[in-house]
Structure 1
Amino acid sequence: MAVDTQAGGAGIPELAGAPLLGSMFDLRHDSIGTYLRAQRAHGDVVRVSAGPPGLRAVLHCVFSAEGAQQVLAAQSANFRKDNPFYQEVRESFGNGLLTSQDEDYLRQRRLVQPLFTRKRVDTYAGAVAAETSTTTGGWRDGAVVDVSDEMMRLALRAVARILFGTDVDTTVDVVDRSFPVITEYVLRRGYAPRNIPRSWPTPGNRRAAAAMDELYAVCDRIIAERRAHEAAGADGAHGAAGTDGAHGAHGAHGAAGTDDGQDLLTLLAAAGSADDGAFDAGELRDQVLVFLLAGHETTATSLAFALHLLARHPAQQERAREEIRRVLGDRTPQAADLDRLPYLTQVLKEAMRLYPAAPVIGRRAVAETEIGGHTIPAGADVILAPWVTHRHPDYWSEPERFDPDRFTPEAEAARPRYAWFPFGGGPRACIGQHFSMLESVIALAMMLRDYAFEAVDTEVPVSAGLTLRAQGPVRCRLKATGAGR
């Protein structure tokens, strides 16, 4: 076993790998399985090396809840998004809230935060319910559906509707075509020891550039049309006593977006302050791209695996359905119902424990930091793995077992804060976590009320891309319940 002999800290155990390439092929084949094996073999701070000598990456993996809290919260200033992976995301999806840093990030967060208060997010409930109805409207008793594909489409349509109000179909079609090409490109470059310039006209570079051009173009067109519409509405309302021209303009184009007729793009375009100014067109596009990326893949993953787990556990599925029927009857769920569906919320949290949408989180240390009795040197690439921490035997008994009762208020209070962190944490915690829970609870409540789910694929292999991915279908057989239809 190799150890880290860096001065100033105790030796860090290293996961054994191949003599020349270390754990490179293990990480490429099954990164989350490799990290889990590292924790089981060596504990909560482990080095994993990958690549040939001279091009070798050394990852300092931190698996404890206490270590995750240090990296994300208590000592977050020591750990930045400066690694090659985030640079590739930044170059492909823009310098939005997910990838920006320092004053750029703080300014963006201040401008965006009012749009993600609980009161504001609750106005998105109607759009989520409408898109869920559209999805289930195409289902039939006895049919077999791939819930991974169905939830990806549902979540994308919901976030596009909330963002844009209109243009949902056009946006969804473009994202469907472009996102897989761009994300594969980001992953390939983000984990490569060396990359050729993006400007070189290789087939891979050209495919990715074409996908980015198409995605950027649809966002730019919608933003330009929206700003032109807003300007026309403001001009028309100028000087008219007692009128609210801006709100009228919102209602004219955004009624399909949220319950109060203001879609998120309208609110982003209007966001501003004396200190922070407002977003220009390029900054608006960056935020829209990040919301499209982070706002649909993560929620889709949580929903798909919640359905998969319930389909494999009929007793828990029926318990959730009984709660839904008792609380909702046959009415459409609203934002206020989230607090009235505690068991359904527990189901989602347990699904996010077993299948966290962001199974791996990367940072780069900019200052030497002691974690778990080991010294993480400045300049080190640091890996947190919710996939591993969510299965840590110190926090979870029988960690592979599906048990929503792990998330009763009493059980949650008894665990370390970062034993469960599917939304990250600290000053860079996901700004959309309430939106994700709102969307997931509403959609899951409507689907479970209308249909019972039986697992066709009982085992679903997964891999870590930009988000957790099912490597194959996640099929369920539907049985209509007769409720709410």
Structure 2
Amino acid sequence: MGELLNAPNHLNYRKDSEFYRAMRDLYGNGLVTSQDETWLRQRRFIQPLFTPQSVDGHVTTMVDGAERVAIRWHNCPSRLVDLGAEMTALTLGVAARILFGVQAPQMLPVLRTTLPVLGRAVLQRGVSAVRFPSAWPTPGNRRIARAESRLDGLCDAIIERRRAAAEPGVDLIGRLVAAQECGDALSTAEIRDQVKVFLLAGHDTTATMLTFALHLLGKNAGVQNRARDEAEQVLVGGTPTAADAHALTYTTMVLKEAARMYPPSPYLTRRAVEEREVCGYRIPAGADVNLAPWVVHHRADLWPEPFRFDPERFTPDSERERHKYAWFPFGHGPRGCIGQRFAMLEAAVALAILVREFEFCSLSDSVALTTDLLLHPAGEVPCRVRRRVPVRPANRHTDQWP
């Protein structure tokens, strides 16, 4: 694993596979898909947006999103919810608010309809044995082109309005517009590509992690009660802070175990530049190499009883003793996910707030799975939610929330 993911050997294994080419065509040449000097330049611009201090600054938005879900559930007559749909709506709303600020309500309807189309298209183009040229006017290509045009057009319009404004804004898109390095700035196309990648990685991975964490808690009352006890001890007083979120140690263990059992990115691909030998196997030049977190996360030699849900696998002592590549749901090395801290923080905040206020009972033992770019439930993830505290009042905020 280290041969493929860690510096400097990772340079021999590039994002040139058909999967990444399809992703580059549809999502642009952003931080996830770019390479070489382009990637280094983008990384210099974007890294300041994902420092610990910057990520912690978004906690209020994360808390607000989770509390709004709690209020809606408190007032839901049936209290039977689809965890997948609910968590996707939660994390997409948070991502849109952090990216677009007051323009998030304008973006959300577009995001809901275009992102699933692009995700499915990447998988189809990346793994299909027969690839029709994207310029051919097939029904599928026309549907993809409409989604691309709608999403790109609205992103570009927002970016250009920000450029023309006296102040571009303090949300992420505003900070990308304002970013400068030695007089250099990101172009509109570059900002748009980063926005699309953040929308993908900034909500889908977190939604998957939360969906399966709550599903697993709904089948394991003892673990759920322990997570609730921690939430009640930590989340006291007013609005939870970043310090509160970092104190949710057991909640984080629950999320890590959920991401082990259901890694949001179940596979990674690279293409070898030069022939190499790895663990006794010859990898010829030009060969595609597939890394599968799903497979590694379910190896019995690394994870005894790998299909059993057990957050105790992630105590500090257990993590120190385990091989560093035994768990890598966000990738690893220089090209590991820059948003891992963001995803884990948002998931911890949301899980703690929801578990504090509700009891969860999963209505199915297993969940059918599917994947496009990321792992998803193939259908609904039904869960009965029982209110533990009195009906919540209307949200205290008066600003628009997508």
TM-score (norm 1): 0.78
Asked whether 1:71 is paired with 2:4, we answer yes
Q: Structure 2: any 5+ residue segments left out of the alignment? A: 393-402
**Please, which of 132, 155, 160 is the counterpart of residue 96 of structure 2?**
160
Offset, 1:165: 0.7
Matches of 1:404 and 1:186, distance apart in 2 = 33
Aligned equivalents of 1:211 and 1:422: distance in 2?
A: 28
Aligned counterpart in structure 1 of residue 301 of structure 2, from 382, 394, 398: 394
Deviations 1:241-299 (A, max 9, x none): xxxxxxxx36xxx5xxxxxxx21111111112117x11011111111111111111111
Could you report, residue by residue, the CA deviation over 1:322-345 in whole angstroms, capped at 9, with x for unpaired residues?
011011125332111233111001
Number of aligned residues: 389
Deviation at 1:227? 1.4
Q: Whose RCO is larger (CA < 8 A, sep 6+)?
A: 2
Number of the residue aligned with 1:122:
56
Paired residue type of 1:270: A
Q: Report if aligned partners of 1:115, 1:121 keep a CA contact under 8 Å in 2.
A: yes
Please give the root-mean-square deviation of Cα atoms over the aligned residues, in Å: 1.4
Supply the AA of the counterpart residue of 1:180.
P
Runs of 4+ in 1 over 2 A off after TM superposition: 329-332
User: What CA deviation, in whole Å up to 9, does each residue of 1:71-122 have, x standing for no partner?
Assistant: 1115211100001111111111110001000100010001100110000111
Greater Cα shift, 219-228 or 140-149: 140-149
Aligned to 1:463: 370
Larger radius of gyration: 1
Name the aligned partner's letter for residue 85 of structure 2: D
Q: How far does residue 187 in structure 1 lie from its aligned partner after superposition?
A: 1.3
- Counterpart of 1:91 in structure 2 is 25
Aligned mates of 2:175, 2:390 — CA distance in 1: 37
Amino acid at match of 1:265: I
Q: Which residue number in structure 2 is paired with residue 320 of structure 1?
A: 227
Residues in 2 aligned to 1:405 and 1:311: alpha-carbon distance in whole angstroms: 17
Deviation at 1:484, TM superposition (A): 9.6
Q: In structure 1, what is the equivalent of residue 260 of structure 2?
A: 353
2: CA distance between counterparts of 1:97 and 1:297? 16
- Picking from 338, 348, 353, the partner of 1:431 is 338
Q: Choose 370-379 or 309-318, whichever is displaced more.
A: 370-379
Distance 2:89 2:364 in 1: 20
Checking the alignment, whether the CA contact within 8 Å between 2:95 and 2:202 is kept in structure 1 is: yes
**CA apart distance, 1:426:** 0.6
Q: Is the 8 A contact 2:122 2:372 kept in 1?
A: no
1:343 counterpart (243, 246, 250): 250
Give the deviation of 1:194 after TM superposition: 3.4
Which ranges in structure 1 are unaligned for 5 or more consecutive residues? 1-67, 234-248, 255-261
In the aligned structure 2, how far is the partner of 1:69 from the partner of 1:482? 48
2:379 aligned residue: 472
Q: C-alpha deviations, 1:185-210, integer Å up to 9, x for none?
A: 22111111232221111111111101
Contact 2:17–2:269 (CA<8 Å) still a contact in 1?
yes
Aligned residue identity for 2:117: V
Offset of 1:300 from its aligned partner? 0.4
CA contact (8 A) 2:208 2:376 kept: yes
In structure 2, the residue matched to 1:151 is 87
* 2:40 equivalent to 1:132: no
Aligned counterpart, 1:174: 110
Counterpart residue number, 1:215:
151
Q: Following superposition of structure 1 onto structure 2, how do residues 251-270 of structure 1 map, counting pairs within 5 Å?
A: 254=169, 262-270=170-178
